[in-house]
Amino acid sequence: MRRHLFLLLGVVIVLGLASAAAGCGGGGDGEATEAAPATTEAPAETAAPADTGAPADTGAAAETGAAAGPDEFGEVYDADPAVIEQALFDATLLPEDPAARQVALAAFARADDPVDLDLALECWQNNGCETGTGGELTAAYTEPFGENVYREMSKMEFILQALTYPEIGEIIYTSSNVFSSTPGDPLADFQSAIAQGADVIVNFPDIGDGYLPVFQEARDAEIPVSTYAWGYVTGPGENYTTVVGEDTCALGEAFAEQINEHVGSGKIALMGGTPGNPLSAAWQECELAALNPDIEVVGTYDTNWVPAGVQEAMASLLAAHPDLKGISYEYSGGMALGAKPAIEAAGIPIDQVWTMRTDEPILGCVADELNEPNLQIYYANAAGNWQIRTALTADMMALKGFEPPPTIVFPIAFKDNSVESLCVEGRPAEASITSLIPDELVAMMYPEG
């Protein structure tokens, strides 16, 4: 019954959607340094394999800029290269798999569609809303832990993407705040979204395979479920629709490449987020395997992706290892806010290499304030707030008969903070510079900067 409804909706979508045309500002245009295998040619062919039912050629519009009109999945693929470059440092760094590339282009093509920013802000502030379109579908974003700026930005990216689909009439958001003194139940929250009639669900699975029972419950109800930021749970394509993000093992190997090159020998530490989350565990394992034998890892530290956790870890590290030479970590914003007081309290010069996954401006600004000539910061194109858009679009295409691949993987590249500083004037302290949220809306979200 659900499938029949979506086939009917597909006809409505084809008649009603318009293609995106305008570019997205922010970020920088410095040269990116690739640190993992990546596609280096512009996408010439974005058609999915034959068994997906995808059109024979969806790459022409992306290459020529012509708007071909929505296809049977309700999507166009003429994404503005400036939007892709904003997210990935380089517009050619798209997934290599044709079906994954098709979903990515569809998501990027929507990223600069006009939406009601006041409605988006209201929806973000109220953790959900009616969209006003009268659409019959409900889109849900559920997660265990949304209490930092990174997740708040992801929530807004999800809302903005959902507002480009007129068939979505309601947006649901929940955070279970599981790492607080009064944690909620993420599985109950997920089941609540199902009970509220969610037709598509996006999730970041901080608790990893703990989500399997509810993912399978959604699968059995024919509700597409996708994760982003490489929130890997066992069995993508079987237990849930797809996982979107960078290959986190490749990220760990890319971190190791930077450490091997710029540290060479000496002590380093690895810092991660919430205990047991799949993101940290995956890249840390692969970085450890790829480091050269002259690098000594003195420990791994959970920080809960909050500045206080970083400060505690840095204080412990610098007290025990004042000769520490490197740190790998996901969260630039937390590193900036937590590391600075620990460094100042230690009273020692920082002769370190930091490899970072995310790109919050405050890290570049703090580096400027520290003015440590030997501090080197390399940040990746993997911040990925925008990846949640790809996850939602994968779910929406799945409703209309498309078969997303189990993984949608974006290549990794790095920039050197000394060449292109993260400290972007006018950008709020923890608002990722690769985010696709319009600058004016970011300012509305964080009026204090």
Return the SS3 of 322.
coil
What is the average per-residue pLDDT within 29-55? 38
pLDDT per position as a tens digit, 108-120 = 999 999 999 999 9
The pLDDT value recorded for residue 69 is 83
Give residue 425's Cα distance to chain centre. Answer: 23
Cα–Cα distance between 125 and 241 in angstroms, integer? Answer: 28
The pLDDT value recorded for residue 68 is 63
Give residue 406's Cα distance to chain centre. Answer: 17
What is the average per-residue pLDDT within 123-127? 98
The tokens of 226 are what? Answer: 């996708």
pLDDT per position as a tens digit, 165-223 = 999 999 999 999 988 888 999 999 999 999 999 999 999 998 999 999 999 999 999 99
pTM for the full predicted model: 0.81
Nearest to 194 by CA among 223, 153, 234, 233: 223
8: pLDDT strictly greater than 70: no
Fold match, 112-247+387-426 / 249-380? yes
Task: Please state the domain extents for the chain.
Answer: 2-107, 112-247+387-426, 249-380
Domain over 112-247+387-426 is classified CATH 3.40.50.2300: yes
Unique residue bearing structure tokens 């370190």: 352
HSE, CB side, 13 Å, CA atoms: give it for residue 241.
31
Among residues of the chain, what percentage have pLDDT more than 70?
A: 85
The pLDDT value recorded for residue 213 is 98
Among residues of the chain, what percentage have pLDDT more than 90?
A: 75
379: pLDDT strictly greater than 90: yes
What is the DSSP code string of 419-439? Answer: TS-S--TTS-TTS-TT--S-H
383: pLDDT strictly greater than 80: yes
Task: Residue 256: count other Cβ atoms within 10 Å of its Cβ.
Answer: 23
381: pLDDT strictly greater than 80: yes
Q: How confident is the prediction for the chain on average, in pLDDT?
A: 86
29: pLDDT strictly greater than 50: no
The pLDDT value recorded for residue 277 is 87
The pLDDT value recorded for residue 67 is 52
What is the average per-residue pLDDT within 317-331? 95
Specify the range with the lowest mean pLDDT, choosing from 56-60, 144-148, 167-171, 385-389.
56-60
User: Beta strand pairing status for 168-175 and 128-130?
Assistant: antiparallel
Task: Residue 41: count other Cβ atoms within 10 Å of its Cβ.
Answer: 7
The pLDDT value recorded for residue 417 is 96
Cα–Cα distance between 283 and 326 in angstroms, integer? Answer: 16
The pLDDT value recorded for residue 147 is 86
CATH of segment(s) 249-380: 3.40.50.2300
| 346 Cβ neighbours under 8 A, 6+ residues apart | 315, 318, 319, 322
Cα–Cα distance between 381 and 369 in angstroms, integer? Answer: 24
| 300 Cβ neighbours under 8 A, 6+ residues apart | 269, 270, 271, 272, 284
Specify the range with the lowest mean pLDDT, choosing from 46-50, 73-77, 224-228, 261-265.
46-50
The tokens of 245 are what? Answer: 């993000």
Unique residue bearing structure tokens 């019954």: 1
Q: Please, are residues 93 and 384 in contact by the beta-carbon 8 Å criterion?
A: no
Cα–Cα distance between 312 and 318 in angstroms, integer? Answer: 10
The tokens of 78 are what? Answer: 């003429």
The pLDDT value recorded for residue 140 is 98
Strand partners for 408 = 244
What is the DSSP code string of 324-358? Answer: --EEEES-HHHHHHHHHHHHHHHT-----EEEES-
Nearest to 154 by CA among 277, 331, 303: 331
